[in-house]
Structure 1
Amino acid sequence: MTGSPFFLLDGAVQLPDAVDMGVPSHYGSPNIEQRHLLAGSAIVDLSNRGVLSVSGPDRLTWLNSITSAELRFLQPGESSETLFLDPQGHIEHAAGLLDDGETTWLFVDPVSVEPLDAWLNRMKFMLRVEIADRTPEFARIGFLAETVPAGLPVASASNIPLVWSDPWRSVVAGGHQYADGEHPGASWNWQEALVPRDQLAAVSTTHQAAGSLAAEALRVAAWRPRFATEVDEKTIPHELDWLRSAVHLSKGCYRGQETVAKVHNLGHPPRRLVMLHLDGSDSVLPASGAPVRAERAGEPVEVGRITTAVIHHELGPIALAVIKRSIAADATLTVDEDGQLIAASQQVIVPADAGAVADVPRLPRLGAVRRP
């Protein structure tokens, strides 16, 4: 793949620490670009992100058996999302899925393309499935709209337009939401279209563009987790409220399913996702991985980390962070950005009492006397 033609547009900038390397971070006005995205008048170049395909008659039952979502009944043109877990329930990869009746298309972050491709090929055994990396053929274009932008040359297969609709807007069948009250994800009508990569240059000149920073800011405001940013080697789905869109709690066995069930029914996730409203008076935005601290016995103690920090066009500086479950919702938090402390107020996404939903009766202790 060569460099994105979107870099030829006026004002195109890629930040050196951008999570999305290889595509423009912005075109000079990230806040205005957010508004254009919300209005449905702009698209985002996501051509750096990966596309895998799984074809063959066993594809859906096979994917269903090795991932967290219920995929056996996925219909042509229907979108879904699933997680690949290790045996202990930690997230190894995440993928958006679209099936066209003959092939299932996987929308993955760049870091997942090679390892997931290799792992899937190792796991197919004698099943009738074929895995391929289609990233050199197709580029992903993102937009916030109910319909595909006019004139976008969307690829199709088996007469199905290859457009993935993010299921984050609502709790999927078999899923569960830990967040209380009205959820900002309800208005997150994010879609991604596959376009032939050889038509990407034409797309860049015929459609208004917004940078990846604009998309990230709106994603954070929707509390939407992303594999490349919110996940580390210890992450389980409950911590990010990812049971909402990518987990079916009663579909049967898959790798990591025992942990998913135990934590949801009997335990609590050890960490929880929050959105932080950051003090912007010093115009400092923390980097991914910046420590989040809370006061304990008069001393600041590290209790979590920033996963994504952005400037939102209405909310100002905000961030997603993963912190310890035990931290009180009204705790005073600060973010340590290279020695500079940034005050932060916490908006709860995953509450401290998330999990333990099973109504399990308490059994009396052995030898205890039952009183009348």
Structure 2
Amino acid sequence: MASPSPLLNRPGAVAASGPDEGVAAHYGSPVAEQRALADGRAAVDMSHCAVVTVSGPDRLSWLTTLSSQQVAGLKPGDSSELLLLDISGRIEQAPAITDDGETAWLITEGSHGAELAEWLDSMKFMLRVEITDRSADFAVLGSTARLPESLGAPAVWADPWPNLAPGAEPYTAVAEEEHPGRDWCWLLTVVPREQLERSADLLSEHGTGLAGVWAYEALRVAAWRPRLAWDVDAKAIPHELDLIRTSVHLTKGCYKGQETIARVHNLGHPPRRLVFLHLDGSEHTMPAPGADVLAPKDAGSRESMAQERPVGRVTSVARHHEAGPIALALVKRKVDPEAQLVVRDQPPAEEGSEEVPEPVFYAAGQELIVRPDAGQAVGRPQGDFLRGRPR
């Protein structure tokens, strides 16, 4: 994990916590920052991210053999994302990747960088590749518009979400042209870490201010964009999060976890599905990630809600400048898509108190992301959701 960002010393900066520890949650005006970010007038300090480079002539073909994605033909300046899975198909790593013609730049969560570099190094065998953890040397700035070339960035990654990658399939319930992320644009610009403060000053000179990670999170959740640090748990497989669309090539060669990818896609269904939640905004608080999602039999009964067994959990929460409180959640596949859900959040006890606070309940309108019938592609008729989309 990188040291706290020097940009935390900027006026108004409020430190983020959890996976975003080390950078600013906001700089005093969360809503204004979010609007500025959406309009391309702000950049987010993402210097808590890790940067790992892979150089050598075999780098792209080697990464293809290890991962879920086909990146052997990645051209200089192009961007993609890939998944590294365990033997059961569960997601372990989900780095962004761009290549400059000589080096592949991998950007991931700060908590995953050292492990990613170590694992890649253990897998190189006799191939002509060199892996280096460059997190101490480079920082990352996030934006919705391309930043000035005067920053001298050695690499810029453009998020492919939600566009279908070659060999991919959508698992969503909406038509592609109606996807909430259709206008999503997210760039990660790599800059020398020692020049991070100077980079922020240069941006300011160009009319681009700073926004905290809360602004990014709100736009990300609204675009249904999963994130490794929040939405991926120890059981998550790509199908549950609609990551097949950007991170998995369904017909490429063998890689660890491919059997699960193929079996679920062709013959089964993912056990859980990602949903988007519109949260009741009448409370002055919001539920924490990890809060239970309930599908109560009697939505009007507090006793019923308290006794109901959870059908899932909240993964990401944000307050959007237009949509209000929103969230992503993973729920059981068979949860009724029409059901009015309820989020049950258990506030922590006050320090030194043995009294357990009463849970807080939030009404949650459910919007389908991954369809309950997603998967089981074998035998589907032409024109079906997964198999027969017009080409």
For the criterion TM > 0.5, the same-fold answer is yes
Partner of residue 340 from structure 1, selected from 331, 338, 360: 360
Partner AA of 2:153 in structure 1: A
Question: How far apart are the structure 2 equivalents of 1:14 and 1:348?
Answer: 33
Conserved? CA contact 2:56–2:129, under 8 Å: yes
Q: Does 1:46 align with 2:46?
A: yes
Give the 5 Å matches for 1:10-159: 10-15=11-16, 17-145=17-145, 148-150=146-148, 152-156=150-154
Partner SS state of residue 334, structure 2 = coil
2:353 corresponds to: none
SS of 2:308's partner is: strand
Aligned to 2:26, the other structure's residue is in SS state coil
Q: CA deviation at 1:360?
A: 6.6
Shift of 1:130: 0.8
Shift of 1:110: 1.0
Provide the C-alpha distance between the structure 2 equivalents of 1:18 and 1:317, rounded to a whole number of angstroms: 19
Give the deviation of 1:115 after TM superposition.
1.2
CA distance in 1 between counterparts of 2:373 and 2:132 reads 42
Gaps of 5+ in 1: 157-161, 362-372
What residue identity is the alignment partner of 2:108? V
Where 1:89 maps in the other structure, the secondary structure is coil
Q: CA deviation at 1:122?
A: 1.1
Deviation readout 1:27-64 (Å, 9 max, x if unpaired): 11111111101111100000010000111111111110
**Where do 5+ consecutive residues of structure 2 fail to align?**
299-303, 347-358, 382-391
CA contact (8 A) 2:162 2:245 kept: no
Deviations 1:255-285 (A, max 9, x none): 1111101111110000000010000111121
Per-residue CA distance 1:298-319 (angstroms, 9 max, x = gap): 6522011111101000000000
How many angstroms does 1:105 deviate by?
A: 0.6
SS for the counterpart of 1:351 is: coil
* Amino acid aligned to 2:201: T
Q: CA deviation at 1:154?
A: 3.2
Deviations 1:155-211 (A, max 9, x none): 22xxxxx10000104111111111122111211111011011111111223331000
CA distance in 2, matches of 1:149, 1:78: 16
Which of 161, 164, 167 is the equivalent residue of 2:160?
A: 167
Alignment of 1:185 with 2:197, yes or no, is: no
CA distance in 1 between partners of 2:32 and 2:273 (Å): 31
How many Å separate the matches in 1 of 2:11 and 2:18?
Answer: 19
Q: Is the 8 A contact 1:168 1:185 kept in 2?
A: yes
After TM superposition, the runs of 4+ consecutive aligned structure 1 residues lying more than 6 A away are: none
Q: Does 1:257 align with 2:255?
A: no
TM-score, normalisation: structure 2: 0.88
Give the secondary-structure state (helix, strand or coil) at the position aligned to 1:111. Answer: coil
Q: Distance in 2 between matches of 1:337 and 1:229?
A: 17
Q: Secondary structure at the match of 1:54?
A: strand
CA contact (8 A) 1:64 1:72 kept: yes
Partners of 1:138 and 1:41 in 2: CA distance: 23
Q: Measured at CA, do residues 345 and 75 of structure 1 come closer, stay the same or move farther in structure 2, by a change above 3 Å?
A: same
Question: What are the Cα deviations for residues 275-296 of structure 1, in whole angstroms up to 9, with x where unaligned?
Answer: 1000011112111111111125
Q: Which moved more, 1:210-219 or 1:180-189?
A: 180-189
Which one of the candidate residues 196, 201, 222 is aligned to 1:200? 196
Q: Secondary structure at the match of 2:97?
A: strand
The letter of the residue matching 1:331 is A
> Superposition pairs for residues 232-311 of structure 1, below 5 Å?
232-296=233-297, 299-311=307-319
Deviation at 1:332, TM superposition (A): 2.2
Q: Is the 8 A contact 1:154 1:163 kept in 2?
A: no
Deviation at 1:3, TM superposition (A): 3.0
Q: Aligned-pair distance for 1:80?
A: 0.6
- State how far apart, in whole Å, the 2-side matches of 1:357 and 1:192 are: 34
Q: Distance in 2 between matches of 1:94 and 1:318?
A: 24
Alpha-carbon offset, residue 18 of structure 1:
4.1
Identity, % of aligned positions: 50
Q: What's the C-alpha RMSD, in Å, of the aligned pairs?
A: 1.5
Give the distance between the partners of 1:55 and 1:30, measured in 2 at CA: 39
Deviation at 1:151, TM superposition (A): 5.7
1:352 maps onto 2:353 in alignment:
no
Q: May I ask how many residue pairs the two structures share in their alignment?
A: 353
Q: Give 1:194's aligned amino acid.
A: V
The residue identity in structure 2 corresponding to 1:149 is L
Q: Bigger CA drift: 103-112 or 17-26? A: 17-26
State the TM-score, normalizing by the size of structure 1.
Answer: 0.92
Code of the residue aligned with 1:176 in structure 2: it is: E
Secondary structure at 1:155's aligned position in 2?
coil
Q: Are the counterparts in 1 of residues 265 and 377 from structure 2 also a CA contact under 8 Å?
A: yes
